[in-house]
Amino acid sequence: MSTPEQEIEYRQHRFSPPPGSTEIFLVRHGESAPARGDDPFELVDGQADPDLAPDGRDHARRVGERLAGERIDAIYVTTLRRTVQTAAPLAEKLGLTPVVEPDLREIHLGDWENGLFRKYTADGHPIVDRLWAEQRWDVIPGAESDEAFGARLRGALTRIAAAHPGQRIAVFTHGGVVGEVFAQASRSVERFAFLGADNGSISHLVVHGDNWIVRRFNDTAHLAAPLG
């Protein structure tokens, strides 16, 4: 006696990275030290280079714990020490030496470097209103142009992806960088749509040739932060 054929089931699609693509976890550095008018930050190539604040060191520890169980093939940092300090716990756990990628450093704020951006934002400087209305960093006097900023980030991530096909990379970088990268990846019409990634947050990008695929943005589960 024949039995009925088993019915074929079609499950929902589950994402998997395209063959040869590179998964990149972009980690915003932990909270950095506060700016004080009487104690300016050291500068690296004209950019402020503060240490991590105590809370920032806790962010670094939590990031290390979160990513230590993942397959991470390489770690990248920028020329600014807050990224190096944030990467240190994970690098120690995995036994990896971070690679410095200068082109993933933060947007250069020109005349508003060395803590002045924080001060003028808190003070309600009129150029801050222009910055958000026009969604351009270069309304700040002497600041890096948005086009130059976007091009150097795309160049850096393209080089990293080409060096690590089929691998998973942790990139410790900056809030402005995360915002610009995800605006490009999502083809957002608003350049600042992804500004505001939290200190110590993890965002996840898959790079496959010229195609950038967004997988997650501003993941803070490891920070025990409330939703908000």
Residues acting as catalytic residues = 29, 106
Rounded to whole angstroms, the Cα distance separating 162 from 143 reads 30
Residues 6+ apart with CB under 8 A from 46: 108, 113
Rounded to whole angstroms, the Cα distance separating 201 from 196 reads 10
SS3 122: helix
Q: What is the DSSP letter of 104?
A: G
Size of the chain, expressed as the number of residues it contains: 228
Q: What is the dihedral of CA 55, 53, 65, 73, to 10 degrees?
A: 150
**Nearest Cα to 114, choosing from 106, 125, 126?**
106
**157 and 22 in contact (C-beta within 8 Å)?**
no
**63 and 90 in contact (C-beta within 8 Å)?**
yes
